[in-house]
Structure formats: C-alpha cells, structure tokens
Chains A and B, each alone.
Chain A
C-alpha cells in the first residue's frame, strides 16, 4: 500500500461525510454515526462518479483528474454543514439515562463479537483474490479492462461488438450491467498503482462498516435508545449472508441492500421528524439504486411510489390505492396489456406471460418447489439466523404500535409490497429455478433485509415519535425511549 491509496480512502470519506452532515439536522442524536455511515458509502460512490466523469481518458492517473472534483464536493458540503451547525439553536446536553450494568455487559459482548467478525472478514478481503463467480465474471470486468488499458472503452452487446468497425468496443456476458461500482474500483486500483484485487475489493468492508454506522445513527435520530440501537447493529452485523458478501467481496447486492435501507430510514425520518433534508437524502439514495444494479430500478420505483403515496393527504391515499388496484385489475383482466414504466420500458403482460425489460420474459405458473425453497432459505438455512422467525410474532406483538404510527405503517406496507414482489417472482414465474437452486433467492431477499431489521428495531421502540416541524426539531428533541 502507498500514500496515494491512503488518500484515496481519506478523500471519499472527507467528501461523503460532510454531504451527509449537510443533509441532516444539527444536534440530532446519532448524527455523527449517521454521517460516518452515509458518508463512507456515498463518498465511495462519489469517487466512482468523479472517476467516470473526469478520468475516462486516463484511468491510470485517476487521482490527478478526479480528486479535485471530490475535494470540491467535500469543501462545499463542509461549508453547508458548518453553516447549518452555526445557525442551529443550542440545546442543553441531555442525560443519556441510566442503563443497567447487565445491559452494558450484553452490548459490550455483542459489539466485541462484531469486532471479532469484522477483523476476520477484513483479513479475508485483504488476503484472497476476487473469488465469487459474478465478481470476476460481471462486476470487475469493466474496471479491470479500463484500468489496465489506461482509458475507457464502451462495452456493447456481442452482435454490436462483432459488427463494430473499431476495436475500441468491448463485450462480455455482463456488458449491460451498470458501471458505477466498476468506476469506483478503477478509483482504488489507480490509487493502489496496480490491479491488486484485494485492495480493489476493500470498499466492501468499508461498506459493511458504513451500513452499520448509518443504521445506528438513523435509529438514534428516530428515537431509538442507545442500547436498543446497539443491539440492532449487532443483529444487522451478525447476519451471516451479509458478512459473506463482505468476506467474498465483489457482488453488488450489499450496496443495493445498504442504499435501500438508507433510503427507507431517511424517508422514515422525514415522515416522523419532518426534516426535509432527509427527504432529499432518501431520494438521493433511491436514485442511486438503478446505477448500482439493474434490479435497483425495481427498488427505486418501490421507494418512489411509497414516498409519493406517503406524501399524499390521507384522504387521497385510499383513492390513489384504489385507482392503482383498478388499473392493475384491468391489466390482469384484459390479458394482453402493455404498461409503460418510465424507467424500465414496456412491461408486457399476457394471459400466462409477463415481459419485464430488466428481468426478461417470464411465463406464469405455480412453482411448488420454489415456495419450499423460499421457506428453507428464510427459516431452515443459516443465512439469517432467526430474523424471519422473529418478524411475524414481533409484528403481532407490536401491532398497536404499528397501527399507531403512520410512518412505520407506510414502511411496513412498502416492505410487504417488496416482499410480495419477490414471492411472486420466485413462486409464479420462471425465476423459480433461482429459488429451487438457492442461487439468487437469498441475494434478492438480502436487498430488503437491512430495512426489515430497521422495522424490527423501530417496532421495539416503546413510543413512536410524533411528527415534528423541522424548525423545532432541535429544541424539542424527545428523550430516547427505553430499550
């Protein structure tokens, strides 16, 4: 490792953290953790964006071309964050309340176990060359090509590649995948001074740290006590499939999961606390999803629909829902229908077939083995510990809390919709084979898992926060609820 690689880490962090601070109300509990978490993730993606915009012609010296843009972003965001901090009314320091010693012991043990696994997976990333299939077959191909060639070349379909006159075109099985993560890998490869896979994959470990910090900070900001938020971080960090995606770095799914979770929490914070900046943050995180992975389009639309639905006055919501249901019913009844989706093109549905551009042509049928596969994935395999066992009883137990909070209710509805979409995909379409063979099913479920953990943590709260006006947030900051 060299000094450039060190700076290549520092700069995204120094640019991303002020952006998160600038979009967060000052003096809110968990603000620093939130800023670090969101900052790391957004900073790394910003580094990729700056590389894509400023260093296409010279990917060997990305540092020289992209760093000034990243630094400028950091300076501007720092200025806004400092201004907001200066303008915010001062509040008296709050007592954190008494926490029993046994709770300290439990939290310490939980965090120690996170540190232990963190050290293992960091070492795993730093030792092993890129290992999982799609990491070298799909996600790293563009980055490795661009970096080793020293400049950008477009990736196109094989037919275009063969017909193209110039040899500057490249192709491959994953030519259509989004390039955002590829550009980020070019940033780190360039700083490392060579295509060193371990150093190119290290952002996945930073992503894990960012995911945990970001969720902790947002939970605290929404009114979860320190103890409950710390246990929530342990629950999220202990999920085996998430840790596997870090240790075997290179897939895009953990990025999607993190950004989906971040977006939902920012949206929730906007709903509960009335912080308009957080709505911007939610839209930013949702907007990045399609740039990470094709399936991100679906999650982005889910979030946008949910945010739009939540923004409607309550008397309009059911009318809008009824209208949407009627349209859906019409589509199903008419059979041969075509529906325009602004972001993903034409969705065509026939009596036994549906054609979704980002997924493909799927014939509709009931797949029993896929349903069994999903049950195994959620309940008998070791991917999620007991997360999906705990979810239904906890919702039943805290049903009144859920009903009493408009924000939590909307989030639950959105997650239910996302989960239903996955169930439909795996149980009623050709994608069933991904569930029967346990290939994509867990990875797609992982996309919504951090958000589901957030729902559990927020249900665990004793008192859901009442909506507040943004300008009174700092003055009326409620004490955290007990664990």
Chain B
C-alpha cells in the first residue's frame, strides 16, 4: 500500500517538476485543442530557390548573400492561441542555422525573428512564447530563414539542399511535454564564441536541467523517505544513488551535446590538409581582406606600423590576427593614445567593412565624427581600403 502510494507520489512529483520546466500551463489539456498545419509545398521561396517536392518544399539554392528564406501568408493568426511550433525538415545540413521569421499585423513593416533549434531530420517543438516576447498580437506572415552558422561555419561550404516538410502551430498541451524538454535539454547547440564562458543556453533558467533534476530528486527522496519511513542508512544511500544518477544523466546529456558539436567540426575539417583547414575560416571574408591588404602593402614600401579599423570589433581584431606578423594595432587605440599628428610618418591605415570611417576626397582626409586624419589613398576596393598617413594633417 505504502509502496504504491510512494510510486504514485513520485510520478506526480515528476509531472509537476517537468511541467514547470517546460512551462506548460496547469490548465492545459492533454491534447492540443487547436492547430494550424502548414505543408512545405505551401511555402514560397523569398530568398534562394526552391521547388515543390510532393507535399514538401525542396530548397536547392541560396541567394547571393548566402541566405535562404521561405514564407507563407497567414490569416491574422492569434499568436497567444498557438504558442507551440513544431517543424520538420529533411537533410537539413548541420552547417546551417535556422530562424523563424514573421510579421505582425500591428507592425507590418517589421520582420520579427526567433532563432530556432537545429532541426536535423526529426521533429522539433519549441514554445515561441518563451523563445521570444515578440510572439504576440496577430501574425500575418510566417517563414523560415537559413544561413551559415555565424562565426563558426565558412559560408562557402555551408549550404546543402534540404526539404521543408511541414510546420505546425498548436495550442499548449501536456502531450508536448516530452518533445519540449527533449529539445530544451538534448537539442543540438553549436559551438559559439560564448561557449568558452558558458556551456549551453543561458536564456531560460526555468528549463535548467540541473535545477530540474535536483528539485525533482529532492522531492522524490522526501516523498519516498516519509512514506516508506526510511532509516538513516536508507536516507544516505538514497541521496548518494540519486545524486550519482543525476550526475550521470547530466553527463550523458553533455556527451551527446559534445558529440553533436564535434560532428559539425568533423563535417567541415576532417580529411583535409593543414593548409585547407587554415583556409576554412568561419570568417573567410575577413581572411580574404587580410590577404588583399597584404598584397597591397607588399606592392608599396613595407610600412612599419599598420592601424586597423572596422565597424565591428570582431572583424577588426580578426583582421589584425590574419595580418600577423605585420605590425598592426587597432586605429581607435592609437587615437586614444596619441594625436595623429605625432604618429610616425610611415604609418598605414587599413579600413575594413567600415562605415564609421570614410574618406573625404575634397581634402584627402579620413573622417569619423569629429576626428580627421590626413591620408593618401593607396588602395580602395569594395569593403577594403588602405591609406598612408600624410604629414601636415591634423
């Protein structure tokens, strides 16, 4: 009798704990009351190219900017009624990142975006209400966008054809619990620049697997201990075994995640020479700019100091790294350290993807806000420009 009661109590505890983690409302039914199914063939390519493939949409090419997008008009769908999005792709490459894009009736000119978990070949369910505060009001257009995983995958090798099978929007229901938690806890998350600081997503502490396991385990132990009148020895044994089990579960999850991360690395770099691996940089455009800048500098008298600027700090620092062992440093640091008129005469300035700094032809000066530097252009081409410092400027 007591054992049966304990089993029922533990099941209830875990339903409550897991339901809280998945943020399913207590009032939700077991099965969704409403759903809107969107077949792949109903989506239209907005960027890139795609063709109908049975009930799916086959996406076979990306646009020249490296992105693809497919969308479908919606008939003023109330976002609050359909927070759960389930989607299914086939052969979706690990190298691509997926976004949900949508428009709302209250802001028809704005495109809202939500980063979605990598779909793989399976079915993925996410709670859009949790994923983005923008999921509200009435939805007038909905779609998916794909691009090379930022700062991780070289765009030149990112795209592979895939199929968009189906998307489905549903109202909250308890039967979505396993899929929501599977995605939140075991979904693939690619390496990112933040991975060196924090493992996994930090956005939703409510869905934290460590905290959920600890709370569930403690409540289960409490229920079992009280109902089954455990001795002290049993308590200690129960705590140790449960703790070890929770640790092993978390570690298994981490190993699954680590393996998935590594499969991407393997996809990009395995079987290639050291030179090819060095060439396959996630920011191959910046590496290309560095090569071009190096060529331009080789054609002139080799400068003793190079100052680099870009609107993006990441791009600026990466360019400096790619230019090594050339004697380069950030332009902004040099300006903060010393007035330009005191800089050595053989200083060269390299601008890369910079709108903040622009060249004023009228007085041969680089300008940014109130700052100006007198220069002589050495090379100007697209997003890269090289200037030599001109004496007599400010």
Taking Cβ atoms with an 8 Å cutoff, the residues of A that contact B are 113, 116-117, 120-121, 123-124, 127-129, 131-134, 136-137, 140-141, 144-146, 148-149, 157-159, 161-163, 167, 170-173, 194, 196-199, 235, 238, 240-241, 243-245, 247-248, 251, 376-377, 379-383, 385-386, 389-390, 393, 438-443
| Cβ–Cβ < 8 Å partners of A379 in chain B | 208, 210-211
Complex Cα distance A123/B267, Å? Answer: 12
Q: Which of B199, B261, B333 has the most CB of A within 10 A?
A: B199
Complex Cα distance A140/B243, Å? Answer: 40
Give, as a whole number of angstroms, the nearest-CB distance from B240 to chain A. Answer: 10
Interface residues of B in 36-76 (CB under 8 A from A): none
Q: For the complex, is B317 an interface residue (Cβ under 8 Å from A)? A: yes
The proximity string for B residues 304-319 relative to A, scoring 1 for CB distances below 8 Å and 0 otherwise, is: 1100000000100110
Q: For the complex, is B265 an interface residue (Cβ under 8 Å from A)? A: yes
Q: List 26 A-B contacts (CB under 8 A).
A: A113-B251, A120-B262, A123-B262, A124-B262, A127-B270, A128-B265, A129-B277, A129-B278, A136-B321, A161-B305, A162-B338, A167-B304, A173-B330, A197-B278, A198-B277, A235-B247, A238-B254, A240-B199, A240-B254, A244-B195, A244-B199, A377-B198, A381-B198, A382-B208, A385-B250, A439-B194
A158-B329, A390-B243 in contact; A127/B197 too (CB < 8 A)?
Answer: no
A245-B196, A377-B198, A382-B199 in contact; A196/B278 too (CB < 8 A)?
Answer: yes
Interface residues of B in 218-262 (CB under 8 A from A): 239, 243, 246-247, 250-251, 253-255, 258-259, 261-262
| 14 additional contacts (CB under 8 A) given A127-B266, A386-B210 | A123-B266, A127-B277, A131-B152, A157-B337, A158-B334, A167-B327, A241-B198, A377-B198, A380-B208, A382-B210, A383-B199, A385-B247, A390-B243, A439-B197
Write the chain A residue with the least CB distance to B189.
Answer: A382
Write the chain A residue with the least CB distance to B209.
Answer: A382
Complex Cα distance A18/B366, Å? Answer: 60
A127-B269, A129-B281, A141-B324 in contact; A121/B258 too (CB < 8 A)?
Answer: yes
| Cβ–Cβ < 8 Å partners of B209 in chain A | 382
Give, as a whole number of angstroms, the nearest-CB distance from A397 to chain B. Answer: 8
Q: Which of B195, B243, B246, B330 has the most CB of A within 10 A?
A: B195
Write the chain A residue with the least CB distance to B251.
Answer: A238
Partner pick for B269 among A128, A140, A194, CB 8 A cutoff: A128
A240-B199, A251-B196 in contact; A162/B205 too (CB < 8 A)?
Answer: no
Give, as a whole number of angstroms, the nearest-CB distance from A256 to chain B. Answer: 14
Write the chain B residue with the least CB distance to A109.
Answer: B248
Complex Cα distance A23/B394, Å? Answer: 62
A127-B269, A171-B329, A383-B199 in contact; A144/B334 too (CB < 8 A)?
Answer: no
Give, as a whole number of angstroms, the nearest-CB distance from B183 to chain A. Answer: 15
Q: Which of A121, A248, A381 has the most CB of B within 10 A?
A: A381
Write the chain A residue with the least CB distance to B252.
Answer: A113
| Cβ–Cβ < 8 Å partners of A132 in chain B | 193, 195-196
A380 & B210 in contact (Cβ 8 Å cutoff): yes
Q: Which of B205, B258, B342 has the most CB of A within 10 A?
A: B258
A145 & B325 in contact (Cβ 8 Å cutoff): yes
Q: For the complex, is B295 an interface residue (Cβ under 8 Å from A)? A: no
Q: For the complex, is B34 an interface residue (Cβ under 8 Å from A)? A: no
Give, as a whole number of angstroms, the nearest-CB distance from A163 to chain B. Answer: 7
Q: For the complex, is B191 an interface residue (Cβ under 8 Å from A)? A: yes
Q: For the complex, is B26 an interface residue (Cβ under 8 Å from A)? A: no
Give, as a whole number of angstroms, the nearest-CB distance from B205 to chain A. Answer: 4
Complex Cα distance A172/B8, Å? Answer: 63
Identify whether the interface residues of B are mostly helix, strand, loop, or mixed.
helix
| Cβ–Cβ < 8 Å partners of B213 in chain A | 386
A162 & B262 in contact (Cβ 8 Å cutoff): no
Identify whether the interface residues of A are mostly helix, strand, loop, or mixed.
helix
| Cβ–Cβ < 8 Å partners of A393 in chain B | 239
| Cβ–Cβ < 8 Å partners of A133 in chain B | 193, 196, 314, 317
Partner pick for A173 among B200, B268, B282, B333, CB 8 A cutoff: B333
- Return the 7 tightest CB-CB contacts between A and B, nearest first: A167-B304, A380-B208, A159-B337, A127-B269, A148-B325, A382-B200, A132-B196
| Cβ–Cβ < 8 Å partners of B266 in chain A | 123, 127
Write the chain A residue with the least CB distance to B263.
Answer: A120
B198 & A438 in contact (Cβ 8 Å cutoff): yes
| Cβ–Cβ < 8 Å partners of A140 in chain B | 321
Give, as a whole number of angstroms, the nearest-CB distance from B48 to chain A. Answer: 28
| Cβ–Cβ < 8 Å partners of B362 in chain A | none
B243 & A381 in contact (Cβ 8 Å cutoff): no
B329 & A386 in contact (Cβ 8 Å cutoff): no
A167 & B305 in contact (Cβ 8 Å cutoff): yes
Q: Which of B211, B314, B325, B336 has the most CB of A within 10 A?
A: B325
| Cβ–Cβ < 8 Å partners of B197 in chain A | 438-443
Complex Cα distance A194/B277, Å? Answer: 14
B205 & A376 in contact (Cβ 8 Å cutoff): yes
Q: For the complex, is B393 an interface residue (Cβ under 8 Å from A)? A: no
Q: For the complex, is B25 an interface residue (Cβ under 8 Å from A)? A: no
B342 & A163 in contact (Cβ 8 Å cutoff): yes
Complex Cα distance A172/B334, Å? Answer: 10
Complex Cα distance A227/B352, Å? Answer: 57
Complex Cα distance A9/B64, Å? Answer: 46
Partner pick for B327 among A117, A159, A170, CB 8 A cutoff: A170
| Cβ–Cβ < 8 Å partners of B253 in chain A | 382
Give, as a whole number of angstroms, the nearest-CB distance from B95 to chain A. Answer: 14
Complex Cα distance A133/B317, Å? Answer: 9
Complex Cα distance A294/B27, Å? Answer: 54
A162-B343, A438-B194 in contact; A385/B338 too (CB < 8 A)?
Answer: no
Complex Cα distance A148/B333, Å? Answer: 24
Give, as a whole number of angstroms, the nearest-CB distance from A58 to chain B. Answer: 15
B255 & A113 in contact (Cβ 8 Å cutoff): yes
Complex Cα distance A354/B266, Å? Answer: 48
A443 & B196 in contact (Cβ 8 Å cutoff): yes
